[in-house]
């Protein structure tokens, strides 16, 4: 297997500076197909910024992010999505004035242009796919409810569903279980385990039990730099990580 084929995402020398402050500093890592990478680190380590840089929300100062053959740093946000990168935000971002069905429908990968959207029709395929996803995210009975009436956890699931319907090759999740009740958390863990199977995933998470459960490899960030990388066991034993993050 060549280097090109081995990695789905290559992040090399990624740097962003805000008025001289380097939030992410010369960061490099590689993601393989079907791997679940978890990024951990203390507050302000630059975890969310890394995801922002990959999906184009923040423009990098330096470095390169290659997704298959595409240089993501030169692409517009919507083009990055079309290349196959999906992003879930930390706070649930759903369209409150639309129904669950309509929320999912907007993410259905068709009719992206202005006139495509005007001509878009709900056909059998669209409905079948939406029903399928709704079942996966436990919302099959809520399709005609407005998203505003969902609970916090259900909104998180809905946003995950909106990403799933696009079937991205790389899925980036920012604290998917934060703010959830114990029951919701358990259900979400089950959901995530199911959906990470046939794609690559980058997850930011603080819940160590959860991380241990899903991670193939773990990156530990600290002050915008890579502190440690490896399996969970490796990272846990790393004295530097214990010093700044896990505690003695």
Partner 1 sequence: MTFSKTPLFSRSEIIGFAVLAVLIFLILPTFLGTFRLNLFGKYLTYAFVAVGLALCWGAGGILSLGQGVFFGLGGYCMAMFLKLEASTPENTSIQSTPGIPDFMDWNQLTELPAWWIPFHSLTFSLIAVVLVPVTFAFFIGVAMFRRRVGGVYFAIITQAFAAILTILIIGQQGYTGGVNGITDLRTLNGWNIRTGEAKEILYYVNGVLLFAVLFVAHFVRKSKLGRILIAMRDQEDRVRFSGYDVASFKIFIFCLGAAFAGIGGAMFTLQVGFMSPTLVGIVPSIEMVIFCAVGGRLSILGAVYGALLVNWAKTSFSESFPELWLFGLGGLFIAVVMLFPNGLAGIWTEQIMPRLSKLWTARARRAPQTHNASTEKRGAV
Q: What residues line the site for partner 1 (CB under 8 A)?
A: 55, 57, 76-78, 81-82, 86-87, 89, 93-98, 101-103, 105-107, 109, 111-114, 117-120, 122, 124, 127, 143-144, 159, 162, 166
| Residue closer to partner 1 (CB basis): 59 or 248 | 59
Cβ at position 97, least distance to partner 1 in Å: 5
Distance CA 112, CA 97 (A): 20
| Residue closer to partner 1 (CB basis): 106 or 233 | 106
Cβ at position 137, least distance to partner 1 in Å: 16
Distances (CA, A) of 22 to 19, 71, 118, 206, 222: 8, 22, 43, 23, 12
Do residues 15 and 60 make contact, with C-beta atoms less than 8 angstroms apart? yes
Do residues 227 and 221 make contact, with C-beta atoms less than 8 angstroms apart? yes
Cβ at position 85, least distance to partner 1 in Å: 9
Cβ at position 190, least distance to partner 1 in Å: 24
Cβ at position 96, least distance to partner 1 in Å: 6
According to DSSP, the residues that pair with 202 across neighbouring strands are: 37, 172
| Residue closer to partner 1 (CB basis): 15 or 166 | 166
Distances (CA, A) of 96 to 91, 99, 102, 148, 164: 13, 8, 10, 4, 19
| Residue closer to partner 1 (CB basis): 50 or 162 | 162
| Residue closer to partner 1 (CB basis): 22 or 57 | 57
According to DSSP, the residues that pair with 219 across neighbouring strands are: 39, 229
DSSP 80-142: HHHHTEEEE-SS----TTSBHHHHHHHHSSS--SHHHHHH----HHHHHHHHHHHHHTT-TT-
Cβ at position 102, least distance to partner 1 in Å: 5
| Residue closer to partner 1 (CB basis): 76 or 248 | 76
């Amino acid at each position: 297997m060549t280097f090109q084929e081995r990695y789905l995402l290559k992040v090399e020398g990624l740097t962003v500076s805000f008025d001289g402050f380097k939030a992410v500093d010369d960061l490099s890592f590689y993601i393989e197909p079907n791997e679940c990478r978890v990024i951990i680190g203390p507050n302000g380590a630059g975890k969310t910024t890394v995801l922002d840089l990959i999906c184009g929300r923040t423009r990098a100062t330096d470095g390169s992010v290659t997704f298959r053959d595409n240089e993501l740093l030169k692409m517009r946000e919507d083009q990055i999505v079309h290349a196959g990168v999906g992003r879930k935000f930390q706070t649930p971002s759903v369209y409150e004035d639309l129904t669950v069905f309509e929320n999912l429908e907007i993410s259905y990968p068709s009719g992206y242009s202005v006139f495509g959207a005007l001509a878009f029709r709900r056909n059998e395929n669209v409905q079948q796919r939406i029903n399928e996803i709704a079942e996966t995210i436990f919302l099959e009975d809520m399709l005609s409810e407005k998203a505003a009436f969902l609970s916090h956890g259900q909104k998180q699931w809905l946003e995950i569903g909106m990403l799933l319907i696009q079937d991205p090759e790389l899925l980036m999740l920012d604290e998917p279980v934060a703010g959830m009740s114990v029951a919701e958390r358990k259900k979400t863990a089950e959901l995530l385990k199911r959906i990470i199977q046939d794609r690559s995933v980058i997850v930011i998470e603080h819940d160590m039990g959860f991380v241990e459960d899903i991670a193939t490899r773990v990156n530990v960030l600290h002050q915008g730099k890579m502190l440690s990388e490896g399996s969970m066991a490796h990272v846990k034993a790393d004295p530097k990580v214990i010093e700044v993050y896990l505690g003695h």
